[in-house]
Structure 1
Amino acid sequence: MTSTMFRPGSPVVLAHRGGTVGVAENSRQAVENMLACGVTTMETDLRATSDGVAVLAHDVTLERRFADPRRVSDVTWWELDLIRDVDHEPALRLVDVLAEYPGLRLNLDVKSDDVVAPTLRAVREAAAADRVCLTSFSSRRLAIAERVTRGRTVLGTGMADAARLLAESRGLVQLARRSTTAAPTTGRAVQVPLRFKGVDVVTPRFLELAHERGHVVHVWTINDPGEMHRLLDLGVDGIVTDDPAAAVAVWAERGLEPAPL
């Protein structure tokens, strides 16, 4: 690991979009609620406006959250800042979240090519490399982030890399070797669902292989306390959840802190 944001053996709670139970996703209210719970790591997504501003947004369009059919990439930040979502909350710029919440750690899924540069610029301007994890389904985007950040921030693994690890864990070594991308360096955050297309992903062997290579494994999106306990027993390094308060209760039952010290 390039920073202390994620550490093997110190399971962390990651609030999915700040937590969506009882609060609006990707809102200041969500951030403040999770921090009040004792959770300091937010898992969220980034998209770029037409004028190159990185904003917290999962969807390609504004339809679900803002009742606006346009794509995020079709509006300027000035236009987006004038409207409110279905919970009457404004959109958030990454640069503002980094500035307003200096104790907040951000696990950022870079959703498209056009948001890579605005994201890297915002992180650099906020001097926040040590409290950010950059991840993406795209290994190519992560390769760009690795070159630019020069090991100063934690990185995730792309889908191809996670699939290779899954293939190896299931004994499909030849399939794993067919990948045309180089295996990522050690110290990545491998962030995966419990299952993918009916196949169990998070198994003892999968965790063993990831840990042997210096990675941490985070599982998304888990809201059931019983499942959280099971995964922690299995040895996962973090859980992404919509319900940070429930996760904090699970961590407390186990004598754990929900965030790295």
Structure 2
Amino acid sequence: MTLIYGHRGAKGEAPENTLASFKHCLDHGVRRCELDLHLSRDGELMVIHDPTLKRTTGRGGKVVEHDAQALVTYDARKGGPGWVSPCPIPQLEELFQECAFDHWQLEVKSASRTRAATTVLAIRELAQRMNLLDKVTITSSSREVLRAALELTPDVARGLVAEYAWLDPIKVAQSYGCEMLALNWTLCTPERLLKAQRQGLHVSVWTVNEPALMRRLADFGVDSLITDFPGLASATLGNR
């Protein structure tokens, strides 16, 4: 059975990476999600995709230039589907408290060695404190982040986010002891899928928004797919 992950909550149906978006995902019976993390100036884990605030909040500057206390007051509805009420940037801790997902893909964007270390340690501390260690996977396309996770938080599951195949994604994933391969769907050939699964990798493909593509990838046998439209995906794959 192909599992469904909501992309940034339910990016196509509610403002991305906001509490409203993750609740919308759960409301459609989709109990797995993918999200993006950046550190605030005071080292809190903030749920936002871009390193800058402009696209989703209209504000200038970078996430890391603002304290968490300020960031959680910024409305992140800009550029997303219409939404009536304000949707502040959440802290990961708030989502952990408010949303009972079965599994979380926590994508950490590329970072310096120091920031990568700080981020993975913060994730582990929070997940352990909230008894969610077995429900999170740290994912990244950054070698720096995966190296930090392997060395500093070996008890937290890891996943490689692969957008290009200029290096063999399966080999790269294995070199960092990953359990998951988050693969751009265009790279997901039946041959690569089978090879990855034979080597023990959970293959999660992104971002899959067309029903025909959802069905095709499910027929291939992907372990999970990440979609902007969890409600649509649930309806499309629900009877399989």
TM-score (norm 1): 0.79
Paired with 2:182 and 2:161, the residues of 1 have a C-alpha distance of: 9
Q: Of the two structures, which has the highest relative contact order with CA contacts closer than 8 Å and spacing of 6 or more?
A: 1
Answer with 1 or 2: which has the greater Rg.
1
- CA change 1:65–1:96 in 2 (3 A) is same
User: Number of residue pairs matched?
Assistant: 227
Structure 2: unaligned runs, 5 residues or longer: none
Q: What secondary structure is seen at the aligned counterpart in 1 of 2:168?
A: helix
In the alignment, the residues of structure 2 paired with residue 160 and residue 194 of structure 1 have an alpha-carbon distance, to the nearest angstrom, of 9
SS in 2 for 1:156: strand
Specify the alignment match of 1:172 in structure 2: none
CA displacement, residues 198-243 of structure 1 (integer Å, 9 cap, x when unaligned): xxx1111101210111001111101100001101111111111000
Distance in 2 of aligned mates of 1:183 and 1:209: 15
Deviation at 1:182, TM superposition (A): 7.0
Amino acid at match of 1:118: A
Aligned to 2:92: 94
Q: Does the CA-based 8 Å contact 2:162-2:181 persist in structure 1?
A: no
CA deviation after TM superposition for structure 1 residue 36, in Å: 1.3
Q: Does 1:22 align with 2:24?
A: no
What is the CA distance between 1:53 and its match in structure 2? 0.6
| Aligned 1:85-234 pairs, distance under 5 A | 85=76, 86=78, 88-113=86-111, 114=115, 115-151=119-155, 153-157=156-160, 159=162, 163-165=166-168, 183-185=175-177, 188-195=179-186, 201-234=187-220
**How has the CA–CA distance of structure 1 residues 162 and 237 changed in structure 2, closer, same or farther, with 3 Å as cutoff?**
farther
Shift in alpha-carbon separation, 1:64–1:190, aligned structure 2, 3 A: same
Query: How many Å apart are 1:121 and its aligned residue?
Result: 2.5
Query: Percent same amino acid at aligned positions?
Result: 27
C-alpha RMSD of matched pairs (Å) = 2.4
For residues 27-42 of structure 1, what are the structure 2 equivalents within 5 Å?
27-42=18-33
SS of residue paired to 1:68: coil
SS of 2:89 mapped into structure 1: coil
Deviations for 1:22-64, whole angstroms, at most 9, x for unmatched residues?
3111122111111111101111100011110111110010001
Partner AA of 2:25 in structure 1: M
- TM normalised by structure 2 equals 0.85
